[in-house]
Chain A
C-alpha cells in the first residue's frame, strides 16, 4: 500500500477498525449473509469504540474528523464484509443532511445520539418511480399550520426499519418540480410512519433495506432542514460528500477479495506447484493490486478535497465512486476466477465479495449517472 501519510489519529482509526473487522466482523460475515440478520452486536462494538462519531464535530459529541476518517473506517470494515460496513456508512449518509443543513438547535437535538451510535440514521430519497430521476418524486409534505403532513412511499432505503433517525426528501410544492422538494427529519415511531417488508437482496445481505411508508404522517415544522425548496440541492450536496464513502466501501470489498485470492493462490496446488507460481495468475494479481491501489488513491484524494472545503467536488467524488466500484466488480470477479470452482461455492468467501461489489455500481447514483455528472462538469468547466 502506498503511504498516504495518515495522521496519528487516522492511523489509530484504521488500526481500531481493522481490529474490529478481524475480531468481530469477519467471523460473522458468512452467517449474517445467510440469515440477513441485522448486525446489532457489531454496531454496539463500533459505537462503544467511538467510531460513529469520526466525522462529526466534537461540539455535537463527535471525534472531529471528516469524510476522510469515515472512508478509512468504511474501507477497513468492508474488507471483512461490505454488508456490515454498509450498516455503519449508511448511518453517515442519513446524518450528513443534518450536518450540512441543520441549524444549531437541530444539530444539538440529533447529532449527539448519532455520534455516539446510540441511534442509527438512514437517508430516504429513492421512490418506486424516482430512482436516477430524483426530480420525479411523488412523496408530498403539505404544510398545515405548525406541521407538515407527509404522504408517500420511499423504497430501497438502507437501514430502513432499523434506524431511528431518517432524513427524507418530500415535495412541498409539486408544481415547481425539483425546486419544490424539501428535506425533513422524521423519527421512528412518529404516527403514520411505518415500514414495508425487508428486501431479499443479492448481496450486502447483513444490511437491511425496506420501504418507508408515510400515511398522513404529521411532523412539526421544526423538522424541516434548511429552507423549503432546497431538498433536491441538499440531496445532491449530500451525495457529493457521501460518494467517496461508497468508493471506500467498494475499495474495501476489492481489497478484501484480492487478499483472499492472493492467499488462496499460494495455498492451491496444481501441476505440483502453487498456482501463484503461474504467470497467468501472477498477471491477474498484479492487475488487481494496481487497480485497487489506483482506486484508493482516487478515493482518498477526493475525500481530502471534500474535507478541505473545496466548492465543486461533484466531479471528483463521482469519479471516486464510479472508478472504485467498477474496480470492485472487476477485482471481485477475478478473485472468483482465481478460486476456480471453489470460488463459485458459498463455502468459500470469494463469491460473496462479487455479490457485495455489484451494488456499489448501482446505488447512490448508478455509474451511468456518475458519468453524466463527470461529463457535465467537464463541459461546464470548458465553457468557463
Chain B
C-alpha cells in the first residue's frame, strides 16, 4: 500500500502575526514546526505501512527550508520526502495549493491513500485536503478518527462529527483528513533521525509538475484576505437550576424561543 502524507510547515505559535499590507503570515523570527495535526497524518500513514507494507511519501509545498519538515517526517517513519518549491507558487491560497499538490501527486502517480491533517494551525481553513481530493477527482473521508478496515479496495472509517461519529465507506484510492483522536504519534527513532539527516529530498519546480501557469501562486488564487482575527470564544451554555420541574419548564420555554 502506497501512502502520500501531505504536511505543512507552520510557525510554532498559535498567535500568528499578519503583515497588515500583504495580509500574509509573518514568518520571520518564528520557529517552524510540522503542523501539529499533520503529525497524526504521518503516524497514521506509517502505521498503515507497518500493517500492509508499501511506502509512505511525505509531500509539502513551501520554501526550500520546508525540507526540514520532510526530514522530520522521515525520522518518524516516512520513506521519502517530496518538496514542491518555486517562486511561482508564492502567494498561493487554498485553491492554488490544492491544485499544486494535486499536480505533484499526479506525478508521484502510484498511491492508494492520501492522508492530511484535518487543518493547519496557522490558517485553520481545512480546505486543502478536500481541495486535493476534488482536483484529483477521488473520494474523500474527512475528520477521520479511526480506520476500521481496509479490504478488497474499500476503506471503512469513522469520521468525527460535532455530536458523535459517522461510519463512512469508500473506494481506494481516496483521501483522508485525520483528527487527533486517530492515534498517538510516536517520537522519532535514532535510526530514523540518522536516515532523515542523509535523506535526499526530491525537489520539484513548477515546470516539473507541469501545472497551468494561471492556476499557480497568486494568479491562481481568487481568495482575497479582507480581515484576519481570532474568533471570540463560544459563549457559555446556560444551566437551569433549582426544582427539577421548574427547571424543565424553563428549559422547554427557552427551546421554544430558539425554535420560533
Residues of B within 8 A of A (CB): 186-191, 193-194, 197
Contact across chains for A8 and B197 when beta carbons are under 8 A apart: yes
Interchain CA distance A195-B193 in the complex, whole Å: 39
A325 to B40, CA, bound (A): 41
What would be 22 A-B contacts, judged by CB atoms less than 8 Å apart? A8-B197, A9-B194, A12-B197, A13-B190, A16-B187, A16-B188, A16-B190, A16-B193, A19-B187, A19-B188, A20-B187, A24-B187, A48-B186, A48-B189, A49-B187, A49-B188, A49-B190, A50-B190, A50-B191, A51-B190, A54-B190, A63-B190
B190, closest chain A residue (CB): A50
Q: B196's closest neighbor in chain A, by CB?
A: A12
Q: Is the CB of A12 within 8 A of B187?
A: no
Bound: A45/B188 CA distance, A: 10
State whether B189 touches A49 (Cβ < 8 A).
yes
Given the complex, which residues of B lie within 8 Å of A287, measured CB to CB? none
A23 within 8 A of B: yes
Cα–Cα distance between A24 and B186 once the two chains are bound (Å): 11
Q: Which B residue sits closest to A46, measured CB to CB?
A: B187
User: How far, in whole Å, are A75 and B190 apart by their CA atoms in the complex?
Assistant: 17
B residues within 8 A CB of A49? Answer: 187-190
Most chain A Cβ neighbours within 10 Å, of B188, B189, B190, B194: B190
B168 to chain A, nearest CB (A): 31
User: What is the CB-to-nearest-CB distance from A23 to chain B, in angstroms, rounded to a whole number?
Assistant: 7
The 6 A-B residue pairs with the shortest CB-CB distance in the complex, in nearest-first order:
A50-B190, A49-B189, A50-B189, A12-B193, A50-B191, A49-B187
From 36 to 61 in chain A, residues with beta carbon under 8 angstroms from any chain B beta carbon are 45, 48-51, 54
- In the bound complex, residues from chain B placing their C-beta under 8 Å from that of A12 are 190, 193-194, 197
In the assembled complex, how far is the CB of residue A94 from the closest CB belonging to chain B, in whole angstroms? 21
Chain B residues with CB under 8 Å of A23's CB are: 187
What would 17 more interface pairs be, CB under 8 Å, given A12-B193, A48-B189? A12-B190, A12-B194, A12-B197, A16-B187, A16-B190, A19-B187, A19-B188, A20-B187, A23-B187, A45-B186, A48-B187, A49-B187, A49-B189, A49-B190, A50-B190, A50-B191, A51-B190
Q: Which residue of A lies closest to B193 (CB)?
A: A12
Q: Which residue of chain B has its CB nearest to the CB of A47?
A: B189
Roughly how many angstroms separate A50 CA and B194 CA in the complex, as a whole number? 11
Residues in A with CB closer than 8 Å to B188 are 16, 19, 49
A-chain residues with CB within 8 Å of residue B190 when the two chains form the complex: 12-13, 16, 49-51, 54, 63
B residues in contact with A63, CB < 8 Å: 190-191
Q: Which residues of A contact B193 (CB under 8 A)?
A: 12, 16
Which residues of A161-217 are within 8 A (CB) of B?
none
Instruction: Give the complex CA separation of A12 and B197 in angstroms.
Output: 10
B189 touches A45 (CB 8 A): no
Residues in A neighbouring B187, C-beta threshold 8 A: 16, 19-20, 23-24, 45, 48-49
A52 to B194, CA, bound (A): 16
Q: Which residues of A contact B191 (CB under 8 A)?
A: 50, 63
How long is the Cα–Cα vector from A23 to B189 in the complex, in angstroms?
15
Taking CB atoms, residues of chain A closer than 8 Å to B189 are: 48-50
